[in-house]
Amino acid sequence: MSSILELQNISKNYGSSVVLKDINLSIENNEFFTILGSSGSGKSTLLRIIGGFVKPSGGDLIFNSKVINEEPIFKRPFNTVFQDYALFPNMNVYNNIGFGLKIRKLDPKTITDKVEEVLSIVGLNDFKKRMPHELSGGQQQRVALARAIVCEPKVILLDEPLGALDAELRKQMQLFLKDIQKKIKTTFVFITHDQEEAIFLSDRIAVLNNHQFEQVGSPKELYYNPKSKYLASFFGECNLIDGTVDHINSDIITINTAFGKINVKNKYKNISQNQNVTFAIRPEQIFLNQNKDNNSFSTKVDRVEFKGAVTNIILNFPKNIKIKVQINNAEEQIAINENDQFNIYFDPNFGNLFVND
């Protein structure tokens, strides 16, 4: 794999308000890359900079080792799928999809062949004579995608394309997108505010927070090795336990918390004695009823939440600390009731420490 698109120190401000600062990114060829951020984080602006709709205030955009800052939109080998689909209301499905090819002055026979091929990829053969307003949201979305695919761009930019769809359709379209991307082997740069969607779809994710990338990595890296407390609770649920560093040796860091000492595997370089830290651990990484000398704590059950495949158990620790534990109902067949005494164990291999300023 080689890098197809690079962003170097890209920044954008409107007057005095900063939208993006020092964005550095390298997108590999044929990967499904997601830019994830909450609304107002600047993710759409970033995509629009790549697409050429917005000029960056600083930095370089590099495509195949060539700076393309000044390249106009219509010359960039990218195509965009817009959030509102942006289909041409005056053209039917067939003409919408063929538009990019017609502009390139391909002969009508080639256009027909390519459009028909893409129509069958997105499963809209029977709809080619429909006008956009005669299609459902999901169908319009597929036309928008087909219109981009047919141009055979090097990169397809998708600006929250599933944002306007209802939950059920959204799931279908996620699967559909993933399949298409595998089939046509093209780089996708996808934008969303939905973590689950990002994890499900992406090869790599960049999380945008406070105008900068908080972390770039695979879904697993982001989930299991978040670089900040923000990220730890941004992806899925996470217990955050405050403490101070008690002592450090080469393998283990011991921290003092409100309910006792916890040993954590030492994989950190920036942590020193007596520092204030937060220990972050996911509910499914906490184990129960394993009586060990260290890292084992007993307390009362506050609440039990049955969720079908899993059960969440919320435990009450001193100083009103609540710890959530998730158990797999297929594996653990035990009856747990409120106010039961309960034993949990933190495996030192799991969880992450974050230094608090």
Q: Does 103 bind other proteins (CB under 8 A)?
A: yes
Q: Minimum CB separation from other proteins for residue 72, in Å?
A: 8
Residue choice 17, 65, 90, 339 for contact with other proteins (CB under 8 A) = 90
Q: How far is CA 257 from CA 254, 291, 297, 342, in A?
A: 10, 19, 12, 19
Give CA–CA dist 327/333, Å, rounded: 9
| Residue 210 φ then ψ, to 5° | 50, 45
Instruction: Provide the 3-class DSSP secondary structure of residue 112.
Output: helix
Q: Does 100 bind other proteins (CB under 8 A)?
A: yes
Q: DSSP secondary-structure letter at 165?
A: S
Whether residue 225 contacts residue 351, with contact meaning beta carbons closer than 8 Å, is answered with no
Containing H/E element for 104?
none
Give CA–CA dist 175/162, Å, rounded: 12
Q: Minimum CB separation from other proteins for residue 73, in Å?
A: 4
Residue number with CB closer to other proteins (18 or 91): 91
The window from 94-102, 223-231, 250-258, 328-336 that contacts other proteins (CB under 8 A) reads: 94-102
Give CA–CA dist 196/127, Å, rounded: 31
Closest-CA residue to 196 (of 168, 180, 178, 174): 174
Q: Minimum CB separation from other proteins for residue 156, in Å?
A: 11
Residue number with CB closer to other proteins (102 or 300): 102
Q: How far is CA 162 from CA 54, 176, 219, 241, 266, in A?
A: 22, 11, 19, 36, 41
Residue number with CB closer to other proteins (149 or 323): 149
Instruction: Provide the 3-class DSSP secondary structure of residue 101.
Output: helix
Give me Rg for the CA atoms of the chain.
Answer: 25
Q: Does 18 bind other proteins (CB under 8 A)?
A: no
- Count of chain residues binding other proteins (CB under 8 A): 31
Q: Does 92 bind other proteins (CB under 8 A)?
A: yes
Q: Does 219 bind other proteins (CB under 8 A)?
A: no
Q: Does 102 bind other proteins (CB under 8 A)?
A: yes
Q: Minimum CB separation from other proteins for residue 46, in Å?
A: 16
Q: Does 98 bind other proteins (CB under 8 A)?
A: yes
Binding mask 150-169 for other proteins (x = CB under 8 A): -x------------------
Q: Does 291 bind other proteins (CB under 8 A)?
A: no
Q: Minimum CB separation from other proteins for residue 350, in Å?
A: 45
Residue number with CB closer to other proteins (99 or 234): 99
Footprint (CB under 8 A) of other proteins, residues 104-123 = 104, 108, 111
Residue number with CB closer to other proteins (73 or 175): 73
Give CA–CA dist 295/346, Å, rounded: 5
Residue choice 60, 64, 84, 117 for contact with other proteins (CB under 8 A) = 84
Instruction: Provide the 3-class DSSP secondary structure of residue 339.
Output: coil
Give CA–CA dist 213/54, Å, rounded: 19
Strand 260-265 to 310-317 pairing: unpaired
Q: Minimum CB separation from other proteins for residue 64, in Å?
A: 18
Residue number with CB closer to other proteins (86 or 336): 86
Footprint (CB under 8 A) of other proteins, residues 44-83 = 51, 53, 72-74, 78-80, 82-83
Query: Under 8 Å CB-to-CB from 107, ≥6 apart: which residues?
Result: none
Q: Does 15 bind other proteins (CB under 8 A)?
A: no
Q: How far is CA 263 from CA 98, 251, 253, 260, 319, in A?
A: 62, 10, 6, 10, 20
Q: Does 16 bind other proteins (CB under 8 A)?
A: no
Q: Does 91 bind other proteins (CB under 8 A)?
A: yes
Instruction: Provide the 3-class DSSP secondary structure of residue 125.
Output: helix
* Contacting residues toward other proteins, per CB under 8 A: 51, 53, 72-74, 78-80, 82-84, 86-92, 94-95, 98-100, 102-104, 108, 111, 129, 147, 151
